[in-house]
Structure 1
Amino acid sequence: MVRLFSEYGRENLPWFVAGLVASVFGRLVGVVPALVLGVAIDAVFFQNAPYRLPLVPAGWIPSTIAGQFWLSFWLVIGAFAAGVGLSWVQGLGLAVYSNRVQHAVRVDTYDALQRLDMAFFDDKQTGELLSILNSDVRNLRTFLDSTLSGGLQLVVAVVGIAGVLFYLNAQLAVVTLVAVPLLAVFTVWFMQTIRPMYRSLRESVGALNTRIENNVAGIEVIKASTTEAYETDRVAEASMDYYERALAVVRLDYLYQPSMELLAGVAFAATFAIGGIWLIFGPPGPFTGDLLVGEFVTFLFMTQRFIDPLSGAGRIVNAYENARASGERIFDLADREVVVADDPDTAALGHVEGRIEFDRVSFAYAHGREVLEDVSFTAAPGETVALVGPTGAGKSTAAKLLLRLYEVTDGAVRVDGRDVRTVPIQDLRSALGYVSQDVYLFDGTVRENLVYGTFDATSESEMVAAATAAEAHEFVSRLPNGYDTRIGERGVKLSGGQRQRLSIARAMLQDPRVLVLDEATSAVDTETELLIQRALDRLTAGRTTLVIAHRLSTVRHADRIVVLDEGRVAESGTHDELVARGGLYATLWGVQSGDVEAIPPEALDRLVDRLKASDGFDTATTDGGNE
């Protein structure tokens, strides 16, 4: 919480100070009516004491009873009016401050989130991250907006009212304030007990959000599988876990809150009893001196105003601990170390010719076996190199290492002779175009998705030309609003082939020197594949291209085909050379072309064994979900 103020509070400090100062004076002004009423009762109505007010010079007080009466009247009216004005300043100041801090925390946390390594996202659920960016950040805003001022008002009330009570009658003030140490001890115990419970509660919120987010994203699968009842049970289970943890917090709160009210009520009752006895029968027991009616009335009013904030201390502590748990989650996310980051000594990549080199590259996902081992190959500028092999061979991983989404474990990946670790990440990825089988389109218009990454650098004519070259202009023109048609989340209103052609058009607008095609045509029908293949031929012309493919017919004309098997380079050559060699590639080609009879039985047996071995799923070794 200290960090929240030191890092995010300074820029908006005037709003914070204005809100807190108004909060303090608002609480102080609130005691004026009770104090004036007590003085007026004794000096004006009973006329058995002089008219005196703390901090008010005697020369300012009228000498007549009527003057003192009207002074009391206007002081009470002025106090209420000042309270309204101060309340407005407090609300506005703290609302502006808390919302600005909320905005800054959310934006900075999101910025830190999107810079984290892909390995982090492999292990984290979207719902949990959304819970941090929304629910936890909102908890901080609530704390800054209302809880903080409430806590300060509580302190001011205790100190200010205690001062007034001691000024009026120190002996009776001790009776009223005797409960304060007990309340403090009880509050410390409550904070220590409820803190881990709030941490657990915030985690359960993330788990519930994750379950709901996953189900909404997979609603088509749920409906097609008629598993609505099953998923309802799973959401109910997550919701029940949240309910039980929330109920544990509430139980403790309902133990603490009434106990605070009871202690505060006992203090009020003791004040009433001793003060009443004092007025009727004289000073009881060890008490001495006189107690005036006005003083006693002021004591009762003040004690009530003193008890109200004390009994509300539970809500303040509750909100603080909730905000603290949220703050821990937020800063834990913001402080995570980024492994794949620019080295201070990186130098600009400059003009890219397009030479790609994998030099004895090895890689393993966190806590897993090696996915790539001692992989070496080269793509000269303008060449097309295809990576093929059985599922789980490491093909997509190689592409991600080129994009530096992950860091190599050993060896080096080079672009134009430069190790990618010595190149600014933005330079590297700007020089590389990536077209994946799993196309992601944002919820927006066709236009917004096409120019994504180039934005203002793209003219209308360039956009249309790219769409035409990608075989997309014709179907876009038939959409209700053409390029301004909204396509829904992930482009759900378009077919798979249409989404793929838009992604190719987007890559054309980015005009990369090196192109990575990861299964770009594997999920479409034959007719659509023909259109996409024609678009890809235009896109790859003159560019160094790394093609990852399961469907070997799409890469038979590549300049070089590198066959990966269990993370190693099994063989390399042109299509004709590899078929003639009779190795793994020839076996895969025979299976896909339907010429199974020409494949030796032992080769088929080896292929089946490899496929069985790759069927296991391990979160530590999975090849990003694309293998």
Structure 2
Amino acid sequence: MSGIDWEEDDPFEEQREQVESPMRRLIFDFGRPYWFSVLVGLVSSVLARALDLLPALLLAVAIDSIFGDRAFQEQVPLVVLPESWLPTTQVEQFWFVVAVIAGSFVFGAVFHWLRNWGFNAFSQSVQHDVRTATYDKMQRLDMEFFANKQTGEMMSVLSNDVNQLERFLNEGMNSATRLIVMVVGITGLLFWLNPQLALVSLAPVPLIAIFTYVFVKKIQPKYAAVRSSVGKVNSRLENNLGGINVIKSSNTESYESDRVDDVSRNYYDKNWDAIWLRIKFFPGLQLISGIGFVLTFLVGGYWVFSGSAPGPFSGTLETGVFVAFIMYTQQLVWPMAQFGQVINMYQRAEASSERIFGLMDEEGRIERDRDADELEVTEGRVEYDEVAFGYDDSERIVDDVSFEVEGGDTVALVGPTGAGKSTVLKLLLRLYDVDGGAIRVDEQDVRNVSLASLRRSMGYVGQDSFLFYGSVEENISYGSFDADREEIVRAAKAAEAHEFIQNLPDGYDTMVGERGVKLSGGQRQRVAIARAVLKDPEILILDEATSDVDTETEMLIQRSLDELTEDRTTFAIAHRLSTIKDADQILVLEDGGIVERGTHGELLENDGLYAHLWGVQAGEIDELPQEFIERAQRRQARTEIDADADD
């Protein structure tokens, strides 16, 4: 199987544990702007439920006065009205009751509509704001955060967890309001109609409270486990769908099906554990609630047909009042049973909100000063001054790296895999902050200028040429949204992309598919280069920018890049050393440090690591020294160990 321990901690556990009062934050931080809609929902819900209670009261009036012998004006529900409002004849009384009942249904329907509008408007607005705020915070976190979290886990927060909030803010708050109104309203009416029988009807309430408290204590950790397992399922599915080409070419469909089965079974077990508790709780709660109904029918029924109060009770019980008790007790059973559903939704929402606010409260290593100065690039001179960096405290990836690049020069970084080349340039972009030393652009420390101005001055083309779902034109103009078609075509020509784009079905309007899967690797790289050309940055970073193109296309792109880099500071990483042999300065890195520097000719004369790498690409493997081969074997073994540790 996968070899993954699915009993490991929730990937967001550390963040969740630091969140205080997540539901209060949700309501007050995100719900406050929408107070009007939620107020409409709450008031309308109260009025709608109050009107729902009228028919049973009026039925009691009809039974005891219109169809019985009790005076209409003496009915308990009518004593609050002025006597002049009440009809005197039996027919008028009948139509009065009919009219009031009909009116209660009509106005009740209006208030129910307003209630649904209010709660839905509130929940949808809050859900939208939470999702966009969470995404905005997530995308601004350091790259270190994304290195430690899987995409599926973050998607689970943005999708599943946010949706759980919407359900509680709509259904949960609606049900809670209904529950409070019905329980308080029915309790008050029962005591108003007959306090003695009311005590019988409400006898199970303390037991329901204890039963619900135990449920809440047991269900909360189970829901936290469910939310975590959902993230793992999403991570596995997202990972597999992203690597579907590898799965198919490796004939590992059965293996991956087993791995999906593992995470799905883990989710099944966690979710069923919570479901099993729920399916025991709700019937039990309904059974306890039903005891009140049975007791009411037993005591009240005997009281009516015997004509005398049973046991310790006193007085009389009219038939209409008894019928109202039966109806209200029946109506009380459902809200009591629904109380568990409200708690259920609340616990799910709280578990989700903990993950959401845990992510929102995440702080990165990169310090952002809102008052930082704008980066002003005049010459494009870049200086690395004893730079050191490690992804954690255990190992330095870059150590004591110092060099200077004059404005307009091209510097190439070469070295074996894992030497730290890409990390060095990511520090310039401030995707990570240095642990020691400093990086300066025209004497300005990159940590003292705004991130927006720093990255606006730089163009980056990586070996993983990511394209967004959309047209070719939209991908080239990404980040330069005001560019017109003429500028886009000019950039595409500079990147040797115009010819192949013209041959696409819809030219520049061709949809490239998710991640650009409809284009070859070389085509995607040329589109990415065109994007950087269009941006026209002062500093250009090329990280294996032509790794996926054939030799002929590389020659054409290289010719265009030579023109592009002529007047701007350029950093280039390349395993094909032929593409960087004309660089003004070549830095050779090994184990995070610079071991050689110079021009192509100077480094060949030194007969060091660069010369040996050149010999490998020239096919002179038999002439390489044994020491170089042994060091390469050790580096390869180290790379494989790191890869296993990451898995």
What's the TM-score bracket when you normalise by the shorter of the two chains? over 0.9
- Which residue type is aligned with residue 267 of structure 1? G
| Residues in 2 aligned to 1:543 and 1:619: alpha-carbon distance in whole angstroms | 40
Deviation string for 1:231-270 (max 9, x for gaps)? 1111111111111111111111111101111111110000
Deviation at 1:214, TM superposition (A): 1.0
1:296 and 2:322 aligned: yes
Q: Flag structure 1 segments of 5+ consecutive residues without an equivalent.
A: none
Q: Tell me what 1:165 maps to.
A: 190
- Residue correspondence of structure 1 range 95-110 to structure 2 within 5 A: 95-110=120-135
1:412 and 2:434 aligned: no
| Residues in 1 aligned to 2:337 and 2:397: alpha-carbon distance in whole angstroms | 61
| Residues in 1 aligned to 2:416 and 2:151: alpha-carbon distance in whole angstroms | 30
1:84 and 2:109 aligned: yes
- Which residue type is aligned with residue 59 of structure 2? L
| Residues in 2 aligned to 1:108 and 1:431: alpha-carbon distance in whole angstroms | 27
Q: 1:359 to 1:133 in 2, by over 3 A?
A: same
Match of 1:231 among 250, 256, 262: 256
Match of 2:240 among 215, 220, 234: 215
Deviation at 1:364, TM superposition (A): 0.5
- Which residue type is aligned with residue 19 of structure 1? G
Q: Tell me what 1:9 maps to.
A: 31
* Range that drifts further, 602-611 or 430-439: 602-611
| Residues in 2 aligned to 1:24 and 1:167: alpha-carbon distance in whole angstroms | 19
Q: Tell me what 2:421 maps to.
A: 395
Deviation string for 1:272-328 (max 9, x for gaps)? 000011112211110000100011011111111111111121211111111111111
| Residues in 2 aligned to 1:223 and 1:169: alpha-carbon distance in whole angstroms | 74
Q: Tell me what 1:585 maps to.
A: 610
Mapped contact 2:377–2:441 kept (Cα < 8 A): no
Deviation at 1:581, TM superposition (A): 1.1
Alignment coverage as a number of residue pairs: 621
Q: Tell me what 2:14 maps to.
A: none
Deviation at 1:37, TM superposition (A): 0.4
Mapped contact 2:366–2:433 kept (Cα < 8 A): yes
Deviation string for 1:553-583 (max 9, x for gaps)? 1111111111111111101111111111111
Q: Flag structure 2 segments of 5+ consecutive residues without an equivalent.
A: 1-22
**Structure 1 residue matching 2:491: 3-state secondary structure:** helix
Deviation string for 1:192-243 (max 9, x for gaps)? 1100100100111111111111111111111111111111111111111111
1:30 and 2:52 aligned: yes
| Residues in 2 aligned to 1:608 and 1:182: alpha-carbon distance in whole angstroms | 71
Match of 2:462 among 413, 426, 436: 436
Q: Tell me what 1:319 maps to.
A: 345
Mapped contact 2:415–2:421 kept (Cα < 8 A): yes
**Structure 2 residue matching 1:80: 3-state secondary structure:** helix
Mapped contact 1:118–1:406 kept (Cα < 8 A): yes
Q: Tell me what 1:565 maps to.
A: 590
| Residues in 2 aligned to 1:600 and 1:141: alpha-carbon distance in whole angstroms | 66
1:56 and 2:78 aligned: no
Mapped contact 1:413–1:420 kept (Cα < 8 A): yes
Mapped contact 2:529–2:545 kept (Cα < 8 A): no
Match of 1:422 among 448, 453, 459: 448
1:369 and 2:402 aligned: no
Mapped contact 1:27–1:156 kept (Cα < 8 A): yes
Q: 1:185 to 1:102 in 2, by over 3 A?
A: same
| Residues in 1 aligned to 2:404 and 2:413: alpha-carbon distance in whole angstroms | 12
What TM-score comes out, normalization by structure 2 length? 0.94
Deviation at 1:366, TM superposition (A): 2.0
Deviation at 1:374, TM superposition (A): 0.4
Identity over the aligned pairs, expressed in percent? Answer: 50
Deviation at 1:59, TM superposition (A): 2.2
Q: 1:139 to 1:429 in 2, by over 3 A?
A: same
Q: 1:136 to 1:601 in 2, by over 3 A?
A: closer
Q: Tell me what 2:476 maps to.
A: 450
Mapped contact 1:265–1:307 kept (Cα < 8 A): yes
| Residues in 2 aligned to 1:404 and 1:292: alpha-carbon distance in whole angstroms | 81
* Range that drifts further, 63-72 or 415-424: 63-72
Deviation at 1:339, TM superposition (A): 2.3
**Structure 2 residue matching 1:12: 3-state secondary structure:** helix
Mapped contact 2:197–2:300 kept (Cα < 8 A): yes
- Which residue type is aligned with residue 455 of structure 2? R
* Range that drifts further, 370-379 or 78-87: 78-87
Q: 1:88 to 1:619 in 2, by over 3 A?
A: farther
Q: 1:601 to 1:295 in 2, by over 3 A?
A: closer
- Residue correspondence of structure 1 range 89-128 to structure 2 within 5 A: 89-128=114-153
| Residues in 2 aligned to 1:535 and 1:498: alpha-carbon distance in whole angstroms | 15
Q: 1:233 to 1:610 in 2, by over 3 A?
A: closer
Q: Tell me what 2:65 maps to.
A: 43
- Which residue type is aligned with residue 532 of structure 1? I
- Residue correspondence of structure 1 range 269-280 to structure 2 within 5 A: 269-280=294-305
| Residues in 1 aligned to 2:638 and 2:120: alpha-carbon distance in whole angstroms | 59
Q: Tell me what 2:17 maps to.
A: none
Q: Tell me what 2:540 maps to.
A: 515
Deviation at 1:618, TM superposition (A): 5.6
What TM-score comes out, normalization by structure 1 length? 0.97
Q: 1:606 to 1:140 in 2, by over 3 A?
A: closer
**Structure 2 residue matching 1:452: 3-state secondary structure:** coil
| Residues in 2 aligned to 1:187 and 1:61: alpha-carbon distance in whole angstroms | 44
Q: 1:294 to 1:607 in 2, by over 3 A?
A: closer
Mapped contact 1:587–1:604 kept (Cα < 8 A): no
Q: Tell me what 2:366 maps to.
A: 340
- Which residue type is aligned with residue 6 of structure 1? F
| Residues in 1 aligned to 2:499 and 2:549: alpha-carbon distance in whole angstroms | 18
- Which residue type is aligned with residue 290 of structure 1? T
Q: Tell me what 1:384 maps to.
A: 410
Mapped contact 1:374–1:568 kept (Cα < 8 A): yes
Mapped contact 1:342–1:423 kept (Cα < 8 A): no
- Which residue type is aligned with residue 261 of structure 2? A
- Which residue type is aligned with residue 15 of structure 1? S
| Residues in 2 aligned to 1:206 and 1:609: alpha-carbon distance in whole angstroms | 37
| Residues in 2 aligned to 1:65 and 1:49: alpha-carbon distance in whole angstroms | 10
Deviation at 1:11, TM superposition (A): 1.1
- Residue correspondence of structure 1 range 141-180 to structure 2 within 5 A: 141-180=166-205
**Structure 1 residue matching 2:397: 3-state secondary structure:** strand
Mapped contact 2:377–2:442 kept (Cα < 8 A): no
Q: Tell me what 1:19 maps to.
A: 41
- Which residue type is aligned with residue 410 of structure 1? G
- Which residue type is aligned with residue 247 of structure 1? W
- Residue correspondence of structure 1 range 175-186 to structure 2 within 5 A: 175-186=200-211
Deviation at 1:338, TM superposition (A): 2.7
| Residues in 2 aligned to 1:396 and 1:374: alpha-carbon distance in whole angstroms | 16
Q: Tell me what 1:359 maps to.
A: 385
Deviation at 1:597, TM superposition (A): 4.6
| Residues in 1 aligned to 2:195 and 2:644: alpha-carbon distance in whole angstroms | 69
**Structure 1 residue matching 2:32: 3-state secondary structure:** coil
Match of 2:222 among 174, 185, 197: 197
1:540 and 2:565 aligned: yes
Mapped contact 1:352–1:431 kept (Cα < 8 A): no
Deviation string for 1:587-608 (max 9, x for gaps)? 1112221234544433443444
| Residues in 2 aligned to 1:214 and 1:607: alpha-carbon distance in whole angstroms | 31
- Which residue type is aligned with residue 547 of structure 1? A
Mapped contact 2:145–2:364 kept (Cα < 8 A): no
| Residues in 2 aligned to 1:199 and 1:56: alpha-carbon distance in whole angstroms | 53
| Residues in 1 aligned to 2:475 and 2:325: alpha-carbon distance in whole angstroms | 69
